[in-house]
Copies of this chain bind each other. A is one copy, B any other.
Amino acid sequence: MYKKEISKAVINRLPRYYRYLGDLLEKDVVRISSKELSEKMKVTASQIRQDLNNFGGFGQQGYGYNVEYLHSEIGKILGLDTKYNVIIIGAGNLGQALANYVDFERRGFFVKGIFDISPKLIGTQIRGNVVRNSEELEEYLKTNKVDIAAITVPKTKAPGLAADLAKWGIKGIWNFAPTDLNLPKDVTVENVHLAESLMKLSYKLSGKDEVNI
C-alpha cells in the first residue's frame, strides 16, 4: 500500500464535475453516462472515466453513474462534507463582496470574522459581522478555530500578513492579493489573481495566440 498523488490537472477539473452534477441533480436527472456528460462538458468521455477512477469506481457497467451518488462522492473528495471557519482580512470592496457571498455557506464555508486596519471600517457591520481591528488578529486566533483566511489586503501588505497568519497557526489561505506568498509547506495557498485573469482575456482578444513563423 502506497500513496498515489493525484495530478493537479485532475484536481482542477473536480469542481467543474461537481457543478455539472449539481445542475443535473437540480433537474432531477437520476443517471448519466460518461458519454452524455462528456458532451455537456465538452471533454472526452475517456477523460471523465480516467479522472473518476483516480478515486475509485463510482459507476456501473451498462448503466453509467448515479448522479446523486457521484455528486455526493465528489463533494466528499473535495472536502465539502466538512465545515470551515473563514476569516476575511481586508474589508474593502472585495472583502465585503466575499463576506456577502451567501452561496459559500451552502458549501460549508462560514465567515466568522472580518478584519481591517482602517478606522473608517472598524466597527461597521457586514452581514452580521462587526469589522474588527487587524491588531486583534493574533489574540482572536488564540481563542477561535479558523481554517481559512481570505486575504484581500493591498499587495505590499500581503506577504507579511500571510507570514504572521502562518505563524499563528492558519493552515489555509485564499489569497486575492496580486503577489505570491511563500509560506511553509504545511500552509496551503489558493490564489485568485484577478489582474492575471484579465490579462489572459486581453491576450486572447488581441489575437496573438497565433504567431507567424
Residues of B within 8 A of A178 (CB): 19, 103
In the complex the two chains form, what is the Cα distance from A51 to B37 in whole Å? 34
With A77-B203, A96-B93 known as contacts, the answer to whether A107 contacts B212 (CB < 8 A) is no
Interface bits A179-213 vs B (CB < 8 Å: 1, else 0): 10000000010101111111111111110111111
- Judging by beta carbons under 8 Å apart, are A19 and B196 in contact? yes
Report whether A201 and B190 are in contact in the complex, using a CB–CB cutoff of 8 Å. Answer: yes
Q: Is A163 an interface residue (CB 8 A)?
A: no
Interface size on A, residues (CB 8 A): 64
The reply to whether the CB of A110 lies closer than 8 angstroms to some CB of chain B is no
Chain copies in the assembled complex: 2
Whether A203 lies near B171 (C-beta < 8 A) is: no
Q: Are B15 and A196 in contact (CB under 8 A)?
A: yes
Kindly list chain B residues whose C-beta atoms are within 8 Å of the C-beta of A79. 199, 202-203, 205-206, 208
**Cβ-defined contact, A200 with B15, below 8 A:** yes
**Minimum CB distance partner of A126 in chain B:** B93
Complex CA gap A212/B2 in Å reads 6
**A147 interface residue per 8 A CB criterion:** yes
A196 to B14, CA, bound (A): 9
Q: Which residues of B contact A194 (CB under 8 A)?
A: 98, 101, 192
Taken together as a complex, chains A and B put the C-alpha atoms of A96 and B96 apart, in Å, by 10
- Distance (whole angstroms) from the CB of A187 to the closest CB of chain B: 10
For A19, list chain B residues within 8 Å (CB).
178-179, 195-196
Known: A55-B211, A101-B194. 5 other contacts (CB 8 A): A3-B212, A19-B196, A78-B202, A93-B101, A147-B205
